[in-house]
Structures are given as structure tokens and as C-alpha cells.
Structure 1
């Protein structure tokens, strides 16, 4: 019989394609899906509400969850990569107006 405590496990499961890997807390709540949190971050930033006032009814998770993911994704460069991808794709679709850029 092998002990799980001494074994090393790789993160090759379905969560390995996430933007930023989060340590799984056990016991406790499962982490909220990244796409749901990704919708909550721009909502808070656009409406300029405090993070703690993000309505739970919208399904984006708590404001603290959104803030933590924003921080974590910023630390690993997700936002910079997303910005570069969008800048690379939008001009080809004529959806980026550069007339006001300096």
C-alpha cells in the first residue's frame, strides 16, 4: 500500500490549462471557474464599485476572489499577453481605431 503523502503528483489534469494555477484548498469551496471571474473583473473596473460590493447574484464570485485573480494573473503576465494578442488581431479586423493614438 503506498502513501499519498510521500508521492509527487504532476498537475496534468483538466485544471492545467487555467490562466493561473490556484492551490486547491481541502476541505473548502472549489475554486470558481476562470471565465466567470474574468467577467467580474471588468465589471468592477468599469463600474468603479469597490471590490467588496460586487453583487453575488451576478455569478462572478466575490469581489475578493476577483481581486485575487486580477493580482495573480497580473503577477504571471496574463494581462500583458492578452493585450499583445488583441493588438495583433484587432487591426486585421478593422476593429481598432488608431486615429486617436499618439
Structure 2
């Protein structure tokens, strides 16, 4: 997986102020540790040498803003599709990740207080 992720990561400036940054791979391992173990960022154990929770969180934020995970998602989907491992007969959309545009007609839940809702029909 690292071979797919590493080329997507933005480069660090050669002369950045402060101490040498924690290696990207170690930060990724720290991020995955926090997500897998479901611990707070500040509870990431320093003895694991992933860097501090704050360092890992900042790197995650930096990568997210750089579009790393969107590009990785597209690459993984393309590889799975090429291997015939994706079934495209069904789709599911999480409305919390689909922007509802102002003024469009949309389905509304009967008990709704008027919150935004986006839907897709296949």
C-alpha cells in the first residue's frame, strides 16, 4: 500500500525551519494506529515513534487538503475495477458527503425540520 501512497504525498520543503520532520511513513502508521485503536490524538504513545498525535494530525490535515486521499481512492477503485473486483450494479451514497445545492427539489423526511438532504437515483 505504501508504494501507492508515497508518490501521492506532497514533498517537504528542503529547507524548512525547525527540527527534521517525522518521516511520512511513520506519520501514516501513527494515523492508522489512532484510527484503528480508536484513541484520541493526544494519547498516541510516543514510544511507538510515530511522532506526537499533534504531528500525525497535522500531517493528516495537510495530506487531506492536498487531495492525497481522493487520488488514492480513485487509484484503488481503478485497480479493483480492472481486476474485476467491483460490482457496479448497486450504489450507496452517504448524504453527509454529497452537497445539496440551493433551490433544487429534494426529498425531505416527514419528520424533518428542514435540514438539507441530497439523494441519488440509480
Q: Which has the larger radius of gyration?
A: 2
Matches within 5 A, 1:20-59: 20-22=10-12, 24-25=16-17, 28-59=18-49
Name structure 2 gaps, 5 residues minimum.
Answer: 1-6, 93-122
The 8 Å contact of residues 18 and 34 in structure 1, kept in 2 or not, is answered as: no
Partner of 2:115: none
Partner of 1:60: 50
| Partner deviation per Cα, 1:43-97 (whole Å, 9 max, x = no partner) | 1112221100001111211100110011111111011011111111134446667
Change (3 A) 1:57 1:76: same
76, 83, 88: which one pairs with 2:78?
Answer: 88
Change (3 A) 1:91 1:73: same
Partner of 1:72: 62
Partner of 1:11: none
- The normalised TM-score by structure 2 is 0.57
SS of equivalent to 1:30: coil
SS of equivalent to 1:42: helix
Count of residues in correspondence between the two structures: 84
The 8 Å contact of residues 8 and 68 in structure 2, kept in 1 or not, is answered as: no
